[in-house]
Amino acid sequence: MPVRRLPEDRGGDLELARLIRSEKEVEGRYEEVWTLVDEDALEQWPAGPGAVVGLPAPRIDGYAKARGEARYTADVRLPGMLHAAVLRSPHARARLTRLDLAAAAAAPGVLAVVGPGEVEGVDGDAPFEGWPVAAVAARTEGEARAALRRATPEWEELEPLLDPDEAVRRGSLVAPSRTYERGDYDRGLAEADAVVEAAYTTQTLNHNPLETHVCVCEWRGDSLDVHVSTQGIWGIRSELAEALGLAPDRVRVLCEYMGGGFGAKEGIGTYLLLAAELARRTGRPVRCALSRREENVVSGNRNATRQHVTAAARADGTLTALGGEFTCSLGWRGWLPPTAGPMQLLYACENVRTAEHGAKLNLPPMAAFRAPGFVEGTWSLECVLDKLAAELGIDPLELRRLNHAETDAMDGRPFSSKQLLECYRRAEPHWRRRDEVRARSDEVWKHGMGLASQIWFGGGGPPSYAWVRLGSDGRANVVTAMQDIGTGTRTAMAQIAAEELGLTLDDVEVQVGDSARGPYATISGGSSTLPSMGPAVRSAAADAARQVLELAAQRFERAEGTLRLDGGRIVCSDGESWSLAEITSLLDDGQILGKGARGPNPAGMRILTFGIQLAEVAVDVGTGEVRVEKVVAIHDVGRVINPLGARSQVEGGIIQALGHTFSEARLDDPRTGVVLTKTLDAYKVPTIADVPEIVCELVDLPDPQLTNLGSKGLGEPPIVPTAAAIANAIRDATGADVTSLPITREEVLRALREAQERERVGALPA
Amino acid sequence: MELFRPSSLAEAASALGDGGRALAGGTELVPLLRDGLVKAERLVELRRVIPSGVEGTAIGAGTTLAELEANEEIPDVLREASRLAASPQLRNMGTIGGNLLQATRCWYWRLHFPCRLHGGDICHAREGQHREHAIFANDYCASAHPSDLAAALLALDATVETSRAAYPLAGLYRVPDEHDRNVVDLRPDEVITRIHYERPERSVYLKAMDRRRWAFALVGVAAARVGDETRIALAGAAPIPWRLDSPDALAEATPLPGTAFKLELARTLVERALARLG
Amino acid sequence: MPELRVNGNAYSFEAKVGRSLAQVLRDDLGLTGTKVACGEGHCGACTVQLDGVPVLSCITLVHTVEGDVTTIEGLREHPLVDAFVREDALQCGFCTPGQIVSAAALVAAHPEPTRDEIRHGMAGNLCRCGAYPRIEEAISSWRG
């Protein structure tokens, strides 16, 4: 066995056995976990491209997807499979007074019915629209839905609580309010030469992965097989096992391909419990797929916010105080996202005071959505900071640089790495074009530029495991029970294994998506997949490589230390080399099995991702139309494994942000609390015609403290600063101060009017 | 449900008179059937019995929006309205006849709220979410008519030819009221066969939407000049396609709190449209 | 029994009037390359060609189909498939078959499509992952 010890500065403890405590973070939520240290203390590869890692690689599953061969959960068809449909409350708050389940059970094609109280979370007291009341399984989906109509439910409607401020006043909260203070906030305000206060709002947003939530449950004796479109195979396994009172290894979770999630597919959801129960009752596989309309009501959302923020600085630009009160409309359940996070973390401000409230309302529950909290909090912070810059007469980029945090602004911890100043430096040539951009303005179209900084988590953490098999054909097979949400994780893992084994990408297969056929792997969320899984894959590949070299040393009578793998060959320091097949062909049907684990995070350090985005806009002052012409995104996420996939992540994040900024909003009826924008004509995600030029630059320097790769996650950072950069560009172009998302025509026209009014009043003689 | 494929217009009209529902491109009817907003035992497929294509100033009702978009002979206002309508696939499927008869996108109506169009006694939009709703004739029902093409054709003073008669396009529509909650005045057995338009010297269609493509009009402004006369019509502004007698008629709008911006949009777009006409 | 011509093959199927082309393709013929993401004609994931013209199979009643249907399974050897993979024009991949079906019709009509033609012609195929810039690039350079 190799020596599996870590140096102390990377969390190792030479006295301790292999089990240690480490910090794990997902979506900004930290927890201490026990983790099995099972990692070779591999040195990181040098910065810059290797033979495979760091070079653009088309996705290894690209053809399966493009040819329509990839089998998504929505495509799973099992013999004898039945279809479930869920009866849901059409009201935001209501009590079921009548339900004819017998009629539903007697409907054509129906094989089983689950009624109120028969599955946890399924009953007749509906606290939000879409609350599940009953379900049926039938031969076809059409028959299942028709059967539900026969149940003719009747409801007593109750007054829903919909206003978040009212909820906070009444103490209707999902979680206790959170307050934070450092320094002396009031003194900070008193010391300031300029103080800017402003109110901002953000809207409720729906994830809208194109594959809706879907599962197929099949019992095999006492064990349950679950095909499910999920971001977290292992979370489904443990949650479902607990809910059903099964040993976790009796639940097998499969997800070969999934059609997006963006945070909505992290937990089990009642639909899955209902499908499992209907499958148990019928003894047949049961499929349950949410319709698009169900998806846009019950599957989670980015919560709306109301924010009041204050920024204060001395004349030289030093921030003296930052304050904010953030009210989140969380719906009936959920958790309080770190909306104050950017205010607490982004700048070196000594005096910060924040309060966050999570209103509990009769609305569908929130769920994590791509950088939850930080998207909303960055919007207000980076907008108010620009107003402050204007007040002080300081260049917005300079103001950000002046207040750069050298260490963690909350507790003084060093950063594992931080290249934000480098991002700012790279932003300069783009920012210098500002006058040129403004000069393009005419009577109708006003041009301008804005920028905003980005901070977010993304370090990942243990535990995560991978295996690498090498067969007699010399091909490597990476096995890990993770899922690929669409970010290209499969491809990145193949690149890492190929790099370590000296193989080409074509020599590597990656098998994911089956909890019974691979070791534990982390969730696809919180920008944690690559920084969690990548090091485990490298460590497994290194273990396999070591075994190959051990065999080669014996076979070719060389000292083990003189051999390495390179370009598909075993290379000796004496100059001789042999093809890898010369060793692997000796295996016959035998296999070399390397195993690896994600090591702990560096102790006592803060691991974050950083960046800046610049937006160029044109605003039609007559109609309030805003055209984003260009977005420049410069991010620091440590080492980049696949520049091709990374660029796609950046572009995708920005495009989703453009939807958040301009056209997307879940609208609820203010009287009844019913969601009105359930369909994709009313809930408007961006089309290809809405996309600006996007320039993507990644600093691409490995984080020297973080794992054997030095890579952080990139799924979320690009969505964080876009809206604020655009709002700042609109102000730059027109003087109009947009304060609510989405930035609709009416919001732009309102802000333009307000700006004109300001100018008129300002022009009056004193 | 059954599908009936008549072999003549008369057969189609008779089947429709017997309670059948007309099916052409299906982009509107099929979703409405699924949602239970339209009920039908029998679908009458019109494709084989109604004319399609453009001949001079006559447009077959079965002409798709994609065909109109590609047709260089038709006036700019109609071509642009077709080009900016819906999505490419919907334009490939949907016909001009069906487009004129499409139902409102009002979410309350689409989601079966017991609104006035559904026979109820309140307009939920007036008190609720209505940023996409009407600024004219919105007292009884605040829904907005979504057809870009209808506005274009109103500006072109189009005539509708049906299996029964021919009349000005404006006559096809009526503002719903307590006596009759329909927005279309078409007999059950009446089929639109052709649309005739007047050829303008110049014409233009301007459309404000939430996305650059594939969105219904917040406001669509169609304008055409024939001789001394300039005609203006609006999409997305009233429960029916809305003819504006003059730009000054915008002063008569009755916007709701959430649709005041639409009036601003309309003012700017009307001004720009007229400037474009020269 | 009604017949359907798909990718050059003839199939007979049994279905009630009201059943969509997408349902028959996916559930009866096992051609699951065609995806259904909204089921009401708003997103384009279900796009197939009918006599070469992109239509929405989720709102096309199967009994009304008379022409030749082409699905992604019939376009697997199209150069666009290579272009999409090469340019990374897909992420989760769920919208991709519909994108390629639409794009194949677009390049058949405009072998050298302009950026504006692509943006106009592809606006009915929503991609929630935001692969649009790569899709535009793949279509621009579809011939390799």
Q: For residue range B109-153, list pLDDT tens digits in order.
A: 999 999 999 999 999 999 999 999 999 999 999 999 999 999 999
If you count residue pairs, one on B and one on C, with CB atoms under 8 Å apart, how many are there?
69
Which whole-number Å values give the CA distances from A41 to A10, A598, A706, A709, B79, in the listed order? 9, 11, 12, 11, 67
Copy the structure tokens of residue A413.
Answer: 């911890």
Q: Locate tokens 């994040």: which residue?
A: A653
DSSP H or E run through A219: strand A214-220
- The distance of A66 to chain C (nearest Cα, Å) reads 6
Share of chain A above pLDDT 90, in %: 92
- The CA distance from B158 to A486, in Å, is 50
pLDDT of residue A37: 65
- Mutant choice from C46, C94, C102 vs A, greatest count of A C-beta within 10 A: C94
- The CA distance from A254 to A532, in Å, is 20
A224-275, pLDDT tens digit by residue? 999 999 999 999 999 999 999 999 999 999 999 999 999 999 999 999 999 9
- The distance of C85 to chain B (nearest Cα, Å) reads 24
Which of A489, A595, A468 is closest to A534 using CA atoms?
A: A489
Amino acid type, B116: R
- How far, in whole angstroms, is CA B10 from its chain's centroid? 25
Question: Subunits touching B (CB < 8 Å, at least 3 pairs)?
Answer: A, C
Which of C136, B244, C28 is closest to A688 using CA atoms?
A: C136
For residue A606, the cross-strand partners are: A415
Per-residue pLDDT band at A4 (split at 50, 70, 90): very low
- Write the CB contacts of B56 (distance below 8 Å, at least 6 apart in sequence): none
A456-513, pLDDT tens digit by residue? 999 999 999 999 999 999 999 999 999 999 999 999 999 999 999 999 999 999 999 9
- The CA distance from A292 to A209, in Å, is 9
Which whole-number Å values give the CA distances from C61 to A102, A333, B193, C15, C73, in the listed order? 32, 40, 23, 10, 20
Long-range contacts of A42-46 (CB under 8 A, 24+ apart): A42/A538, A42/A539, A42/A542, A42/A708, A43/A708, A44/A639, A44/A702, A44/A704, A44/A707, A44/A708, A44/A709, A44/A710, A45/A499, A45/A639, A45/A702, A45/A709
**DSSP reduced 3-state for A177:** strand
Which whole-number Å values give the CA distances from C29 to A290, C26, C34, C60, in the listed order? 23, 6, 11, 16
- The CA distance from A569 to A585, in Å, is 13
- Helix, strand and coil content of chain B, in percent to the nearest 5, comes to 30, 20, 45
Q: Which residue of A has its CA nearest to C80?
A: A66
For residue A646, the cross-strand partners are: none
- The CA distance from A721 to A738, in Å, is 15
- Interface of A to B at Cβ within 8 Å reads 622-625, 662-663, 667-671, 674, 676-679, 681-682, 684, 686-687, 689-690, 744-746, 749-750
Query: Mean pLDDT in chain A?
Result: 95
Q: Cβ contacts (< 8 Å) between A667 and chain B: which residues?
A: 107, 129
pLDDT of residue A1: 28
- The CA distance from C144 to C133, in Å, is 17
The answer to whether residue B66 neighbours chain A at the CB level (below 8 Å) is no
Q: Which residue of B has its CA nearest to C18?
A: B1
Kindly tell me if the per-residue pLDDT of A9 is higher than 80.
no
- The CA distance from A129 to A614, in Å, is 39
Per DSSP bridges, beta strands A286-289 and A214-220 are antiparallel
**DSSP reduced 3-state for A103:** helix
Per-residue pLDDT band at A12 (split at 50, 70, 90): low
Q: In this structure, how many other beta carbons lie within 10 angstroms of the beta carbon of residue A146? A: 18
Exposure of A144 in the CB half-sphere (CA atoms within 13 A): 27
pLDDT of residue A765: 61
Which whole-number Å values give the CA distances from C124 to A109, A681, B132, B213, in the listed order? 36, 11, 21, 8
Kindly tell me if the per-residue pLDDT of A13 is higher than 90.
no
Is B214 in Cβ contact with C124 (below 8 Å)?
A: yes
Q: Locate tokens 């019109």: which residue?
A: B46
Which of B85, B172, B175, B184 is closest to B136 using CA atoms?
A: B175
Is C64 in Cβ contact with B45 (below 8 Å)?
A: yes
Is C63 in Cβ contact with B1 (below 8 Å)?
A: no
Query: Mean pLDDT in chain B?
Result: 97
- The distance of B270 to chain A (nearest Cα, Å) reads 11
Long-range contacts of C106-109 (CB under 8 A, 24+ apart): C106/C139, C107/C80, C107/C139, C107/C142, C108/C52
pLDDT of residue A2: 33
For residue A113, the cross-strand partners are: A136
Q: Which residue of C has its CA nearest to B33?
A: C18
- Rounded to the nearest 10 degrees, the angle between the axes of helix A643-658 and helix C132-140 is 120
Kindly tell me if the per-residue pLDDT of A3 is higher than 50.
no
- Interface of B to C at Cβ within 8 Å reads 1-3, 23, 26-27, 30-31, 33-34, 43, 45, 47, 66, 83, 86-90, 92-93, 212-214
A126, A89 Cβ separation under 8 angstroms: yes
pLDDT of residue A30: 76
Q: Among the residues of A565-692, which ranges form H helices?
A: 581-584, 643-658
A527: left (phi over 0), alpha (psi -120 to 50) or beta: left
Kindly tell me if the per-residue pLDDT of A18 is higher than 80.
no
Is B90 in Cβ contact with C56 (below 8 Å)?
A: yes
Nearest to A623 among B113, B208, B211 (CB): B208
- The distance of B18 to chain A (nearest Cα, Å) reads 26
The answer to whether residue C99 neighbours chain B at the CB level (below 8 Å) is no
The answer to whether residue C63 neighbours chain B at the CB level (below 8 Å) is yes
Q: Cβ contacts (< 8 Å) between B85 and chain C: which residues?
A: none
Q: Which residue of B has its CA nearest to A686?
A: B211
The answer to whether residue C24 neighbours chain A at the CB level (below 8 Å) is no
pLDDT of residue B94: 98
Which of A532, A402, A379, A526 is closest to A454 using CA atoms?
A: A379
Burial of B87-121, coded b for 16+ CB within 10 Å and e otherwise, reads bbbbbbbbbbbbbbbbbbbbbbbbbebebbbeeee
DSSP state of A335: -
- The CA distance from A521 to A536, in Å, is 9
Which of B24, B77, B66, B3 is closest to B193 using CA atoms?
A: B24
DSSP state of A157: E
- Touching A: B residues 214-233, CB under 8 Å: 214-216, 218
Kindly tell me if the per-residue pLDDT of B39 is higher than 80.
yes
- The distance of A305 to chain C (nearest Cα, Å) reads 23
C46, C37 Cβ separation under 8 angstroms: yes
- The distance of B209 to chain C (nearest Cα, Å) reads 14
Kindly tell me if the per-residue pLDDT of B163 is higher than 80.
yes
Q: Which residue of C has its CA nearest to B92?
A: C55
Copy the structure tokens of residue A653.
Answer: 């994040």
**DSSP reduced 3-state for B131:** coil
- Touching A: B residues 175-214, CB under 8 Å: 208, 210-214
Which whole-number Å values give the CA distances from B238 to A465, A516, B110, B249, C143, in the listed order? 61, 59, 17, 13, 47
Is C59 in Cβ contact with B26 (below 8 Å)?
A: yes
Which of A227, A284, A261 is closest to A83 using CA atoms?
A: A284
Is A684 in Cβ contact with B215 (below 8 Å)?
A: yes
A145, A132 Cβ separation under 8 angstroms: no
Kindly tell me if the per-residue pLDDT of A16 is higher than 60.
no
Q: Cβ contacts (< 8 Å) between B212 and chain C: which residues?
A: 119, 123
Kindly tell me if the per-residue pLDDT of A192 is higher than 80.
yes
Is A644 in Cβ contact with C88 (below 8 Å)?
A: yes
- The distance of C119 to chain A (nearest Cα, Å) reads 5
A639-687, pLDDT tens digit by residue? 999 999 999 999 999 999 999 999 999 999 999 999 999 999 999 999 9
- The CA distance from A182 to A193, in Å, is 20
The answer to whether residue B108 neighbours chain A at the CB level (below 8 Å) is yes
Q: Cβ contacts (< 8 Å) between C44 and chain B: which residues?
A: 87, 89
Does the complex come out with an ipTM higher than 0.95?
Answer: yes
Q: Cβ contacts (< 8 Å) between C41 and chain B: which residues?
A: 27, 30-31, 89-90
Q: Cβ contacts (< 8 Å) between B264 and chain A: which residues?
A: 624, 749
Exposure of A693 in the CB half-sphere (CA atoms within 13 A): 8
Nearest 5°: the CA angle B208, B211, B212 is 75
Which of A525, A529, A488 is closest to A510 using CA atoms?
A: A488
Instruction: Give A724-740 as a 3 state SS string.
Output: HHHHHHHHHHHCCCCCE
Copy the structure tokens of residue B170.
Answer: 């404006």
Is A654 in Cβ contact with C128 (below 8 Å)?
A: no
A381, A389 Cβ separation under 8 angstroms: no
Q: What is the DSSP string of B171-240?
A: GGB----SS---SB---TT--EEEEE-PPPSEEEEEEE-SSSSS---SEEEEEEEETTEEEEEEESSSSS
